[in-house]
Structures are given as C-alpha cells and as structure tokens.
C-alpha cells in the first residue's frame, strides 16, 4: 500500500511517501506505527490508549477526520493529514490546547449542589451520548464557523456544556448558561458535519439546539424575526 503523509515540518507542509506491506485490513495506527518502526523513526503522530478512549489520535484519512486507532485501511493508496482547525506542531501532531483552554475559560465542570448528590439512571439517559465525548476534537476540525475563525464555542464545547448543564447534581447552572451565551450557539449553521464525523456518536449539533432552546426559554436570547418577503405580494 502506498501511504502519503502530509507532514508539518519546520513551518511548512510537505508530503512523504511510503510503501507499506499490509495484510488484511490493519488500522491506520498500525500502518503509521509500521512506518515509524521500519522506515522513518522521525514520523510523529499522537497515540495513547489505542482503544478509542483517550481521543488523542485524530488525523484526516483521505480527507475525512478519523481516529487512527479505530479506523481500518484498505486499497492501493491512502493520504494521511493532520486535522484542520488545530495548529500543527510536527508532522501529524496538532495542538489540543484550545480544547482545554476553552473548557477552562467557560468553567465547564460539575460543581455539586450538595455533598454526595446522587443521580438516577433516568437522569443520565437524558444526557446519554454527550457523556461519551472523548475530547478528540474531530467535530471542531470540520465546523464551518470555527474554520472561518468566528467567535463560536464549537461543537466540542457545547457537548460538554450540555452534559454538565443537564446533570441534576450540578449547582452552577447560572455560570454555565452565561458560558453558553458567550459561546454563541446561534453561530451554528446546523450543517451536522460534527454529528457525522464524531467517532462516538455524540451528536453535538443536537446539544447546541437544545441549549439554544433553553436560552430562549429563559429569555436570554431572542427568537430570530422571520424575514420580510413582502415584495412577493402575498
Ligand atoms: S463530540 Fe465527538 S467528535 Fe467532538 S470531541 Fe467529543 S467525541 Fe470527539
Ligand atoms: S452543526 Fe453546527 S457545530 Fe456542528 S459542524 Fe455544523 S456549524 Fe459546527
Ligand atoms: S489512541 Fe486513544 S483514541 Fe486513539
């Protein structure tokens, strides 16, 4: 299999090509590891858990963001690139700092109402899927407003915000509503790209819609006025 790797080196991108003998359908991570072990020990990429849990190994495979550890490859040729949106550091490694900085800036963590506050299985079901987020950032890497550098929190942040906001143990609703407002859910264009690429089926766009509804119900944002089509004459 020919493996083309678009890598970031000394401030610019270049493409390296490797011929990798493969049997069956290895994971992309296995292919990258084989290149590193047998052909180019300088090739850099992220890996930790190898089990779709840590969220660190996101890259683009033939143009689509994937987790390298849970994506199988086949065919005669593949192209591997670093994720869009995130700042490249080296080869396929990008900086995940913006993820943690935004969660910290918007105070997205659970502050319990009371000591030993409990939660029922039914309550957890209400937010199920948002709990599965592994902070991989694949959703942010395809989000049009983020790619256009608009001041939008992005799908990852809203997925976390929803998870904590709807947790009955949480005692910081006002803080999180303010954070949601500041993250401008109305900037979402509802293209669903985040839902499509999420490797854990988290449906970020759904949580953005539900948070926007909550803000509307609280009177914190206003409903869009319908456009005036008076010129149509009816
Ligand atoms: S919502 Fe999905 S794609 Fe986005 S960071 Fe979480 S797991 Fe990754
Ligand atoms: S649905 Fe919204 S959050 Fe998701 S990728 Fe599109 S614009 Fe971004
Ligand atoms: S190595 Fe942890 S998610 Fe892929």
Residue 135 CB–ligand 3 contact under 6 Å: no
- Predicted local confidence at residue 184, as pLDDT: 96
**Which atom belonging to ligand 1 lies closest to the Cα atom of 55?**
8
Residues with Cβ within 8 Å of residue 43, at least 6 apart in sequence: 5, 7, 16, 32, 35, 36, 91, 92
- Cα torsion 1, 138, 168, 173 to 10°: value is 170
Supply angle C-alpha 111, 115, 116, rounded to 5: 105
Average pLDDT of the chain?
93
CA distance 68 to 59: 7
Q: Give the pLDDT confidence of 4-21 residue by residue, as tens digits.
A: 999 999 999 999 999 999
Q: Give the pLDDT confidence of 213-229 residue by residue, as tens digits.
A: 999 999 999 877 655 55
The class (CATH top level) of 2-94 is alpha beta
Supply angle C-alpha 93, 98, 102, rounded to 5: 155
Residue 203 CB–ligand 2 contact under 6 Å: no
Domain residue ranges of the chain, discontinuous segments joined by +: 2-94, 97-217
The class (CATH top level) of 97-217 is mainly alpha
């Amino acid at each position: 299999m020919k493996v083309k790797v678009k890598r970031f080196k000394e401030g610019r991108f270049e493409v390296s090509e490797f011929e990798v003998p493969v049997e069956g359908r290895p994971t992309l991570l296995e292919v990258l590891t084989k290149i590193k072990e047998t052909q180019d020990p300088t090739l850099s990429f992220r890996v930790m858990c190898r089990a779709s849990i840590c969220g660190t190994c996101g890259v683009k495979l033939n143009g689509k963001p994937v987790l390298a550890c849970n994506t199988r490859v086949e065919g005669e040729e593949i192209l591997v690139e670093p994720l869009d949106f995130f700042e490249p550091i080296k080869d396929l490694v990008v900086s995940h700092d913006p993820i943690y900085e935004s969660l910290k800036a918007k105070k997205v963590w659970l502050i319990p109402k009371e000591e030993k506050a409990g939660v029922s299985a039914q309550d957890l079901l209400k937010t199920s899927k948002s709990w599965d987020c592994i902070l991989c950032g694949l959703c942010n890497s395809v989000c049009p407003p983020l790619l256009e550098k608009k001041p939008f929190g992005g799908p990852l942040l809203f997925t976390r915000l929803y998870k904590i906001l709807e947790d009955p143990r949480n005692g910081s609703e006002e803080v999180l509503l303010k954070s949601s407002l500041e993250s401008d859910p109305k900037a979402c264009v509802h293209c669903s790209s985040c839902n499509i690429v999420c490797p854990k089926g988290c449906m970020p766009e759904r949580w953005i819609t539900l948070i926007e509804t909550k803000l509307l119900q609280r009177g914190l944002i206003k409903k869009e006025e319908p456009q005036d089509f008076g010129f149509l004459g009816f």
